[in-house]
A and B are shown apart, each in its own frame.
Chain A
Amino acid sequence: MSTVTTKKAKSSGKGKMYNRGAWKYAIPAFIPLLLLSVVPLSQAIWTAFTDNVAGFHVKVKFIGLENFHRLLGDKLFWASFKIGIIWAVSVTLLALVLGFGLALLLNQKLRFLGLMRVLSLVPWAMPPVIVAIMWNLLLRPTSGPIQGILEFLHIPGAKTDWLGDFNTAFPTVILIGAWVAMPIITVSILAAIQGIPMDMIEAATIDGANAWQRFRFITVPAVRAITTALVALNIIWNFSSFGLVFVLTAGGPGGKTFVPALFAYNEAFKYGNFGYAASMGVVMALAILLMLGVYLKASKREDTQR
C-alpha cells in the first residue's frame, strides 16, 4: 500500500511541475456536479433516515435507522433484491459473451461488415420506449413471428409463451436485457482488439502460436482492463434500472421478474413512502458498491500478477 502511494505522489508531483495551473480547469465541471448531483443525492440519502411521505406541507422527522430496521424484515424486498442481483449479473455476463463474440467477428475481414457494424448498434439507437414493445410483439404467444419460426423449424417447445411462462420468463427477459446491453460492449471490445499492434500477432505466429494461443495470450489480456470497466458499469446500470422489465412483464409472472429498482420506484411513487423507498436505494447502492469493490480489487490483483 505505502509503496503504491509514494509512486503515485511522485508521478503527480511531476505533472504539477509542468502544468501547475491545471486545477483551475476542473472548476467549471464541478460546479454543476456539486449543484445537481452531490446535493440531490445527499438529500436522497438523508431522506432514508427520515419518515418522509408524500403530502402537502408534511413535517419530516429524523428517525435514525428505523427505515433500515424495517427493511431488514421486509421479505418481499429481499426476494426482489435477489432477483435484481441475478438479473444484473446474468445480463452483464450474457451481453459480455455475445458482445465479445460479435467484436471478434467484426474484426475479421468478412463480407457484409458495413451492414454488421450498423446493425451492431441497433439496440442502442432504438428508443428504449419501443424496445420492450417490439420484443413483446415478436414473442407474442400463438401468433408471434418467433413462435412461427420455431414451429416451422419443428423446435420442441415452440408453443411456449416465453414471457409468460414461469420457467422461461426470467431467462427471456435476461436475453432481451443482454440484447440491449450488447452494443456498448461490442464497440468497446472491438476497439481494444483493434488496438493490438499487428507485429505482436505476427511475432507470435512466427513463434508458432496457434489461433487459440494467440487469442488466449494476446487478445484476452488486451481486453482485460476494458472488460473490467464494462462489467462494473453494466452491473450498476442494470441493477438500478427497471424500465425494460416493467414493459416486458410488469414484474410477473408470479413475481419472477420483480427487480428491486421497480420495488423502490413503486414504494416512492405509487405508495408515497419516500423515506422507506430511499432506504431501499441506500441498501441497493451499498450492496452494489461492496460487490464491485470486491470485483475491482480482484481484477486489479489479477492484473498485477501477470
Chain B
Amino acid sequence: MSTPASVIAPAEKRKRKYYLIPTYFAVICYVIFLGFPFLWMFTTSLKSPLELLQLHQTLLPKGLYWQNYQDIIEKRGLINSAKNSLVIATATTVITTIFAVPAGYAIARLKKVFSGAATGWILISQVFPVSLVIIPLFMAVRRVGLLDTIWGLILVYLVASLPFALWMLKGYVASIPMDLEEAGAMDGASSFQILRRIVFPLLLPGIVATALFTFLNSWNEFFFALVLIQSPEHETLPLTLARFMGSEGQVLLGPLAAGAFLATIPSLLVFGIMQRKLASGLLAGAVKG
C-alpha cells in the first residue's frame, strides 16, 4: 500500500534530534496510558483471591496462581463461549460483507436518494438507545423463530452492523473511477461481471476494514446476547465474563481478569496482522461518505 509519508522532511534531518526528546516522551506517555490497564489486567489474572484482598496491590503477583485460568476454562465453560463467539462473529462478518458489498455498490451507483436515506438511517438507528428498541427487536426475533439460537444473534448483529458497513462501502465504491466500469461494459461484461471482476478487487481493502469492524463489534456485544440467548450452551464470551460480577460491585476478579485476557488476545492478534489494511480501508470508506 502507500508508503507512510514522514512528516519530517529530509531538509530538516539535522533538526530531528530536537524533535526526538518530546516525541519519545509522548510515546512513553501513550504506551503507559494504553498499556498499563492491560498489563494490570494480565497480572491480576495471576493473583490468588487472598492476594487480591490485600490493601496494597503490586504490579507483579506474589505467586503465579494459574487456578484462575483453570476455573474459567473448566468450571465456567469459557471454551464453549469462545467457540460460540467465534462462530457468531465470523458468520456475522461474512454475511454482512456478502450483503453489504453489492448493496453498498448499488447505493453508490444508483440514485443519491438512496445514499441520503441510508446515511439518515444510520444516524437514527444508532442514536436511539438500544435498551428502548430491545423489546420490539426481541419480539421480531421471536416471530421468525430464532430466539435462543446462534442464528438469531447472527441475524441481529447483521442488522446492527449493516448500516455502518453500507456507509463505509458506499464511500469506497464512489472512489472507484467510473471509467473502469465503462470499459468493462464496452467489452460486453454483464452487470454482475462488472461487480465481480472490476469492482470487487478494488474494494478489497475497504471490505477488510468493514469486516474487522463487524467482527469486533459482534465479538464484544453484550446486551443483545443477554436478552436473546437463554441456554447456557449458546452463551457468548461477554455473557460468561459478566457472570463473575456480583451486586454492589463485588467481583471474582482473578477469573474475570483471566477470562478477559484470553478474550482480548484473538482480537489483538487479528488486528495486529490486519492493521495496515484496516487503515487504508477506513480511509476510503469514510472520506467519501
Contact = CB atoms under 8 A, between A and B. Distances in A.
Direct contact of A and B (CB under 8 A): yes
Interface of A: 8-9, 12, 14-26, 28-30, 32-33, 35-41, 43-45, 47, 101-102, 104-105, 107-110, 112, 115-131, 133-138, 142-145, 148, 179, 182, 187-188, 190-198, 201-202, 205, 211, 214-215, 219, 225-226, 229-230, 232-233, 236-237, 239-241, 243, 261, 264-265, 268-269, 274, 277-278, 280-282, 284-285, 288-289, 292
B153 to A, nearest CB: 11
Contact of B166 (A29, A126, A128, A190): A29
A39 B140 contact: yes
Contact of B23 (A24, A108, A182, A226): A108
Contacts, number: 334
Given A112-B27, A191-B279, A36 B9 contact: no
Contacts of B267: 121, 124-125
Given A19-B195, A264-B131, A117 B275 contact: yes
A197 to B, nearest CB: 7
B283 A236 contact: no
Contacts of B242: 129
Contacts of B41: 126, 130, 134
A43 B195 CA distance: 36
A205 B106 contact: no
A44 B133 contact: yes
B34 A15 contact: no
B286 A226 contact: yes
Interface residues of B, number: 113
Contact of B106 (A26, A35, A110, A136): A26
Given A19-B109, A112-B27, A288-B127, A117 B7 contact: no
B264 to A, nearest CB: 5
A118 B273 CA distance: 9
A258 B71 CA distance: 36
B260 A108 contact: no
Contacts of B257: 130, 134
A217 to B, nearest CB: 13
Main secondary structure of the interface of A (DSSP, over half): helix
A13 to B, nearest CB: 9
Nearest to A4: B112
A127 B260 contact: yes
A112 B34 CA distance: 14
Of B103, B220, B268, which is in contact with the most chain A CB atoms at under 10 Å from its CB?
B103
Contact of B185 (A19, A142, A145): A19
Given A108-B8, A143-B57, A198-B3, A119 B260 contact: no
Given A23-B106, A134-B37, A179-B34, 18 more contacts: A8-B112, A26-B103, A32-B99, A37-B121, A37-B159, A39-B136, A107-B4, A112-B31, A116-B30, A125-B264, A133-B253, A138-B40, A188-B286, A190-B279, A201-B7, A225-B286, A225-B287, A285-B124
Contact of A36 (B35, B128, B140): B140
A115 B31 contact: yes
Given A110-B23, A116-B31, A125-B264, A40 B280 contact: no
B264 A126 contact: yes
Given A288-B127, A289-B127, A138 B37 contact: yes
Contacts of B34: 119-120, 122-123, 179, 182
11 contacts: A14-B178, A44-B133, A105-B23, A112-B31, A121-B267, A121-B268, A122-B37, A192-B287, A194-B283, A195-B2, A214-B7
